[in-house]
């Protein structure tokens, strides 16, 4: 079976700073990988390379057996790139067109991707919104009239409208209130089950990654330190940095002082 | 004497459909770490700011905010300055926004000491060095001459904490002090705050959206929703047997790190904005237990839990329920919940 996404030896440097170095992974159809790390770990740079917003210095990205072109020229190539990988960013305020209603945004995406029939588009818009738990009212609303959670669900629906092979979510639930975050996490769990889409889920939060993903790749200063199935990783983390991240999650009997000490040791 | 006692504080802003704060009661004693948990728009930051007399300018305010027994509502400038310089201080969420980017760290720390206390440059600088050492920064003389952009977020938050300690306060108000930081940096900052709090016997109010963080670090926790306190409990009780449906919803919304992975049961809808209001319980519209005709008529008061609603261990202790309060009409009828242990 062809892998949905194959990433090999990805490297990106900005001047003297190496942001990403040696990131490789394979995503099977319907798979979900968590990219976990703190600020400066290279997780967002990796995500941006996956959608073509940054060019890797070396390494390759292959979607459904085809390499992602370094340059996209012309309409057909642009649409093909859009169908390969879609992304949902952290802040849905900045990623949705403020002047278009949610319904119009989805309709435009469908039209662009060749769904000519108006009634068919309207039906598909309803279906997409239903998938993320939104309805007629939200379809008629401008982004600014929706709550953060609704906007993020609209952003997910917009990405799904393209029917991409892979959906990249860059800290897509981090800015949401806890009670709303859970709603979006359930939407993501449903999409995985129903759409068979591949997910790359970028997050600093292991609990959230566990809920959405089968495996996780932990990044430290641009380099992968551990890449294993989620259950194994949580049960027996091997790298001291993975252990530090896991223990940093507050829980009853939490001892921040010992975590702080270990963090200093690790930094040396 | 209670360090901070907020009594029936109500803050109304012109143009909003509901009060920003609605009869909020809250107290912090010396040496006590108190958590204030809520989502966006719940009023947790406004509550914390009230302890510095920092209420919105056009607000209509009733109730009292007692700091060391003296009311700050309507207090004159001299009293406010006294409180802000030597009784209470605040650590804000984003140190990059809270510290002037074009001034040196040394100026940030020394200037208030020189202006308010009238200290000489040399005295103020010596104190700034002490403060930087107290918050565990590696090279105080060098940091004194550095600009904020030369420090990482975690280091700069330490500078902010040093600034908050400058006036030797008794009450430290921490408004989401680690939300802008990485998870392992969060542990460092909380370790530091905990150590300072114990060494100096500070009263601390920790404002956070993270109920697990509050449960792990606080003695007592208040949960806020739409401008009202909906539950008050010891951290252990809140986490082990949350009573208010909203508290349960918050705990049920966080995926566990260990144990069985079940589907999350999120609270439907979104937190109530200032443009919305409800005649009854503000949470009723999102609550699975809400009863029409009862929950949507008048707001429930924050009352001590009836004996039947308190878990048996606490009920055996006659004073056990004194610190447990919930604002819910149905609290006595709701099934007791068992939350699974999440500690790894």
Q: Which of B167, B187, B211 corresponds to the end of one domain?
A: B167
> What range defines the domain where residue B123 resides?
102-167
As a whole-number percent, the residues of chain A with pLDDT over 90 amount to 71
Q: Among the three residues B143, B167, B191, which one is the final residue of a domain in this structure?
A: B167
- CB contact under 8 Å between B194 and A256, yes or no, is yes
Do B323 and B196 share a domain, yes or no?
Answer: yes
**Looking at the structure, do residues B161 and B174 belong to the same domain, yes or no?**
no
Position B309 scores a pLDDT of 54
B342 interfaces chain A, CB cutoff of 8 Å: yes
Tens-place pLDDT, residues A42-77: 999 999 999 999 999 999 999 999 998 778 888 998
In this complex, the residue of A250, A257, A260 whose CB is nearest that of residue B210 is A250
Averaged pLDDT, A143-154: 90
Q: Is residue B12 part of a domain?
A: yes
pTM of the model: 0.89
Q: Are residues B203 and B334 in the same domain?
A: yes
SS3 (DSSP) at B342: coil
Do B215 and B182 have their domain in common? yes
- What is residue B337's predicted lDDT score, i.e. its pLDDT? 58
% pLDDT > 70, chain A: 100
Q: Are residues B134 and B237 in the same domain?
A: no
Residue A11: burial class (beta carbons within 10 Å; 0-12, 13-18, 19+): middle
Contact A259 B191 (CB under 8 A): yes
Q: Which of B140, B167, B194 is the last residue of a domain?
A: B167
CA distance A100 to chain B (A): 22
CB contact under 8 A, B255 and A210: yes
User: Which long-range CB contacts under 8 A does A189-195 form with residues at least 24 apart?
Assistant: A189/B263, A190/A131, A191/A131, A191/A132, A191/A156, A191/A160, A191/A167, A192/A30, A192/A32, A194/A131, A195/A131, A195/A160
A-B interface: how many C-beta pairs under 8 angstroms? 133
Alpha carbons A199 and A29: distance in angstroms, whole number: 9
8 Å CB contact of B257 and A210:
yes
Q: Are residues B186 and B39 in the same domain?
A: yes
Same domain, B46 and B2: yes
Residues B201 and B333 in one domain: yes
B93 domain residue, yes or no: no
Would B74 be classed as within a structural domain? yes
Say if B96 falls within a structural domain. no
Q: Domain check: are B174 and B124 in the same one?
A: no
Q: What is the predicted pLDDT for the residue at B10?
A: 97
* ipTM rounded to 2 decimals: 0.84
Residues of chain B with pLDDT under 70: 307-322, 336-344
Q: How far apart are CA A51 and CA A157, in angstroms?
A: 17
Do B232 and B114 lie in a common domain?
no
In a domain, B94, yes or no: no
Whether B180 and B245 map to the same domain: the answer is: yes
Nearest CA in chain B to A237: B344
B92 assigned to some structural domain: no
Judged by CB atoms closer than 8 Å, whether chains meet at A251 and B191 is answered as no
- Chain A residue closest to B210 (CA)? A178
Query: Tens digit of pLDDT for each residue in B145-200?
Result: 999 999 998 899 999 999 999 989 999 999 999 988 888 889 989 999 999 999 99
Query: Would you state the pLDDT for residue B31?
Result: 95
Residue A260 pLDDT grade (very low, low, confident, very high; cuts 50, 70, 90): confident
- Pair B160, B186 in one domain: no
Q: Does A90 touch chain B (CB under 8 A)?
A: no
Whether residue B282 lies within 8 A of chain A, CB to CB, comes out as: no
Scanning A125-184 for CB atoms below 8 A from B yields: 147-150, 177-183
pLDDT of residue B5: 97
What's the pLDDT at B339?
47
**Total count of domains within chain B:** 2
- Segment A228-244 mean pLDDT: 95
Q: How many C-beta atoms lie closer than 10 Å to residue A123's C-beta?
A: 12
- Chain B nearest-CA distance from A181, in A, is 8
Residue B310 pLDDT: 54
Question: For the segment A1-25, what is each residue's pLDDT rounded down to a tens digit?
Answer: 688 999 999 999 999 999 999 999 9
Q: Which of A79-83, A104-108, B80-84 has the highest mean pLDDT?
A: A104-108
Look at B188 and A204 and tell me if their CB atoms are within 8 Å.
no
Residue of A nearest to B250 (CA): A179
- Residue B97 forms part of a structural domain: no
Asked if B40 is an interface residue toward chain A (Cβ–Cβ < 8 A), one would say yes
A180, A211, A246: residue with CB nearest B261: A211
Q: Evaluate whether residue B207 is within a structural domain.
A: yes
Determine how many CB atoms are found less than 10 A away from the CB of residue B152: 14
CATH number at residue B279: 3.40.50.300
B213 in contact with A at a CB cutoff of 8 Å? yes
Q: Helix (H) and strand (E) counts for chain B?
A: 12, 12
In the structure, what pLDDT confidence band is assigned to residue A194 with cuts at 50, 70 and 90? Answer: confident
């Amino acid at each position: 079976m062809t892998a949905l996404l194959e990433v090999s030896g990805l490297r990106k440097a900005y001047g003297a700073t190496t942001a990403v170095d040696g990131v490789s992974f394979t995503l099977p159809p319907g798979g979900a990988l968590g990219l976990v790390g703190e600020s400066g770990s290279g997780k967002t740079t990796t995500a941006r390379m996956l959608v073509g917003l940054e060019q890797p210095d070396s390494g390759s990205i292959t979607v459904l057996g085809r390499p992602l072109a370094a340059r996209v020229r012309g309409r057909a190539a642009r649409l093909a790139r859009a169908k390969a990988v879609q992304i949902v960013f952290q802040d849905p305020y900045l990623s949705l067109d403020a002047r278009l209603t949610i319904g119009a945004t989805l309709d435009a995406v469908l039209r662009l991707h060749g769904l000519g029939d108006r009634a068919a588009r309207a039906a598909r818009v309803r279906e997409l919104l239903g998938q993320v738990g939104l309805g007629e009212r939200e379809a008629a609303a401008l982004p600014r009239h929706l709550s953060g959670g609704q906007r993020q669900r609209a952003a997910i629906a917009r990405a799904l409208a393209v029917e991409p092979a892979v959906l990249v979510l860059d800290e897509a639930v981090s800015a949401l209130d806890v009670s709303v975050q859970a709603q979006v996490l359930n939407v993501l769990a449903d999409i995985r089950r129903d759409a068979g889409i591949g997910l790359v889920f970028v997050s600093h939060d292991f609990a959230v990654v566990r809920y959405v993903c089968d495996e996780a790749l932990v990044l430290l200063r641009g380099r992968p330190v551990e890449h294993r199935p989620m259950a194994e990783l949580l049960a027996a983390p091997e790298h001291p940095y993975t252990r530090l991240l896991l223990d940093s999650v507050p829980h009853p009997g939490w001892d921040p002082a010992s975590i702080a000490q270990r963090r200093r040791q690790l930094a040396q | 004497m209670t360090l901070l006692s907020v009594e029936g504080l109500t803050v109304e802003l012109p143009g909003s459909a509901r009060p920003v704060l609605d009869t909020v009661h809250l107290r912090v004693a010396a040496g006590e770490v108190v958590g204030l948990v809520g989502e966006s728009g719940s009023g947790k930051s406004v509550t914390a700011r009230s302890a510095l007399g920092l209420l919105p300018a056009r607000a209509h305010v009733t109730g009292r905010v007692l700091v060391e027994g003296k009311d700050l509502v309507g207090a004159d400038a001299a009293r406010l300055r006294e409180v802000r310089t030597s009784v209470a201080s605040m650590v804000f969420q984003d140190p990059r926004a809270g510290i002037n980017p074009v001034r040196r760290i040394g100026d940030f720390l020394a200037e208030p000491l020189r202006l308010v206390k009238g200290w000489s440059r040399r005295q103020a600088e010596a104190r700034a060095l002490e403060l930087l050492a107290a918050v565990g920064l590696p090279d105080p003389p060098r940091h004194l001459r550095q600009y904020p952009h030369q420090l990482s977020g975690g280091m700069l938050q330490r500078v902010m904490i040093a600034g908050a300690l400058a006036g030797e306060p008794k009450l430290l108000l921490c408004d989401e002090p680690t939300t802008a930081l990485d998870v392992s940096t969060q542990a460092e900052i909380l370790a530091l705050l905990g150590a300072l709090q114990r060494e100096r016997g500070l009263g601390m109010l920790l404002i956070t959206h993270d109920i697990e963080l509050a449960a792990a670090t606080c003695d007592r926790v208040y949960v806020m929703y739409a401008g009202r306190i909906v539950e008050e409990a010891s951290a252990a009780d809140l986490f082990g047997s949350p009573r208010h449906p909203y508290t349960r919803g918050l705990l049920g919304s966080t995926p566990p790190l260990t144990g069985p992975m079940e589907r999350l049961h999120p609270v439907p809808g979104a937190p109530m904005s200032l443009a919305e209001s409800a005649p009854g319980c503000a949470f009723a519209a999102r609550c699975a237990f809400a009863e029409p005709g009862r929950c949507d008529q008048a707001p429930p008061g924050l009352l001590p839990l009836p004996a039947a609603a308190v878990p048996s261990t606490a009920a055996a202790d006659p004073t056990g329920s004194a610190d447990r309060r919930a604002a819910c009409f149905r609290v006595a009828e709701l099934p007791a919940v068992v939350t699974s242990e999440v500690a790894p």
